[in-house]
Chain A
């Protein structure tokens, strides 16, 4: 079975995001970028499934500009077999992402699509669900465990009330949550080998997909600055503040 795994290039999660002076977007000029951490977890899981014999080939796919090739090389260095870059200069919305991935799936016919549950830039958390809908495949989102058993993927989902176990008929789309695994880092020999692995590029413009924007961003603002803490002199005062000010009890 072939596994398709998505890798989005996003702002490095460990640096402070800054908004452009005109408030239109997060500034991405000359800032450090990285693979979306949830996608990294998805790549790791695909590799573990391959090592376990459940998957025979791992194909990494990204949609983005020329720099997204670096992100795909990272997936290849971790151990993916080959990569596909859908070249696009513009940042496309989740619906368009799902359409593009659907077209890639139609061509590649994977038995399993692994994605990060969301990209940490837009935090939309939509593409995986929409892709499963378009393909009419089973979906398991926010998974913290996956086991392949023949034609079935048994997954554990992290939901508000606890854990939910589902059996999905393959092919399926699953999205990775934080606790699914801890991704490996690439060894230097594997980084060097990754340079020679196949990476196909296809222009988004040639795919005949409507990627017109449907969402208008009205404005962006920085989160409210954290207020300094207050020392309380007794447990009673603490409970009082939790009730009246924080309103958590």
Chain B
């Protein structure tokens, strides 16, 4: 994914990401999807390449890359396997949170093994009764001697049951966002119970489960930042998370576009390649144009985040909404160009479509993205 002002180093990162995607993700993506395999060995290999610690600060042992570099790398990885790349973005997001806000003790305990891919992380915000209304979450962390006692449930947790370190947003104070704290919880703690593995439309290479907390003890040192900061931290993480998910949509849509380009040159109907029909040409031209817009918007939003610009949240929300919607549409166009072959599992297009559908729902639904944008632009 080239940009005009690409640095030599960025080009080298993307070359490695591309090769990893082609050799270690793409050949297995269909099987991981079909058999719902969480490829932990591949995630370990990804960590060896540096992909599990991209924007964790260097001071905490990560690579300290910019969000822009990270976004473009995630896009390349998602060309190989959307679902696995998306899990990597979640792991990166949690590692970044731990690297930034955990106590030194907790950071030293949980982060090194996460950066090497020996342990995996999950982000636990959504609850059965608190999805878009996350500030109203009900999981309680009650203060006890030396720590907290955690009770409640989280739902739709990526990686749950196969990960080792959870970052859990829980209520330590009164109602509303200000009463929420962020805690690091060991995934095998006493009192944790996992729900069944959800049977999903896409994102099948990562398990999704409910997590129930029943009097789970969490030591004081596992609190991130201060009591009451949890919701702010969760939202800061999601600004980047939204860029990441948009990246995974973009990379996948590029993969679908490239597959369509190759297919229309090969497929013959009415005695000529379907690339020779004007409809095909116009559709491809639109796909290309939409991808270019999405790519530039992604880079712009990532740069806002890198610059800690006051409008970063606005830009990330607008980009997430636009890119995940339009890239879904690009994949749908690629599917249409493939005709019946786009609908069968022998070709990757239907998987791309299934994987991208959820990007319009998670990390904040696209409706919530519109709310964030509207609130900000009407505020002035």
Neighbouring B residues of A188 by C-beta, 8 Å: 13, 16, 49-51, 54, 63, 65, 73
Stretch in B4-12, B27-35, B182-190 touching the partner = B4-12
Q: Which residues of A contact B367 (CB under 8 A)?
A: none
Any chain A CB within 8 A of the CB of B20?
yes
Question: Is there contact, CB below 8 Å, between A187 and B49?
Answer: yes
List of A residues within 8 angstroms of B9 by Cβ = 191-192, 195
Instruction: A187 to B16: give the CA distance in the assembly, Å.
Output: 7
A70 within 8 A of B: yes
Count, A-B residue pairs, CB within 8 A: 41
How many Å from the CB of B201 to the closest CB on chain A? 32
Which size class do B's interface residues fall under?
10 to 19
Give the distance in Å from the alpha carbon of A194 to the alpha carbon of B8 in the complex.
12
* Interface flag for B15 (CB, 8 Å): yes
Binary per-residue interface labels of chain A (191-202) against chain B in the complex, 1 for a CB within 8 Å, 0 otherwise? 110110000000
Q: Contact partner of A185 among B2, B19, B73, CB < 8 A?
A: B19
**From DSSP, what is the main secondary structure of chain B's interface residues?**
helix
Q: CB distance A186 to B12 under 8 Å? A: yes
Return B217 CB to nearest CB of chain A, in Å: 36
**Smallest Cβ-Cβ distance to A186: which chain B residue:** B16
**A73 located at the interface, meaning its Cβ lies under 8 Å from any Cβ of chain B in the complex:** yes
Do most interface residues of chain A lie in helix, strand or loop, or is the interface mixed?
helix
Within the assembled complex, what's the spacing in Å between the Cα atoms of A187 and B298? 24
B50 and A70 contacting across the interface, CB-CB below 8 Å: no
User: A74 contacts the other chain (Cβ, under 8 Å)?
Assistant: yes
Residue A189, interface by CB 8 Å: yes
Give the CA-CA distance A74 to B16 in the complex, in Å. 10
Name the residue on A nearest B65 (C-beta).
A188
Contact between chains at A73 and B15 (CB < 8 Å): no
Q: Mark B18-58, 1 if CB is under 8 A from A, else 0.
A: 01100000000000000000000000000011110010000
- Please indicate the chain A residues that have their CB under 8 angstroms from the CB of B65 in the complex: 188
Which residues of B line the A interface, CB within 8 A?
A: 2, 8-9, 11-13, 15-16, 19-20, 48-51, 54, 63, 65, 73
Query: Could you list which residues of chain A lie within 8 angstroms of chain B, going by C-beta atoms?
Result: 32, 69-70, 73-74, 77, 185-189, 191-192, 194-195
Please name 10 further chain A to chain B contacts, defined as beta carbons within 8 Å, in addition to the given A189-B50, A194-B12, sorted by A numbering: A73-B8, A73-B12, A185-B49, A186-B15, A186-B16, A187-B16, A188-B13, A188-B51, A188-B65, A192-B63
Task: List 13 contacting pairs A-B, 8 Å CB cutoff, sorted by A.
Answer: A69-B8, A70-B8, A70-B12, A73-B12, A74-B12, A185-B20, A186-B12, A186-B15, A187-B48, A188-B16, A188-B54, A188-B63, A191-B9
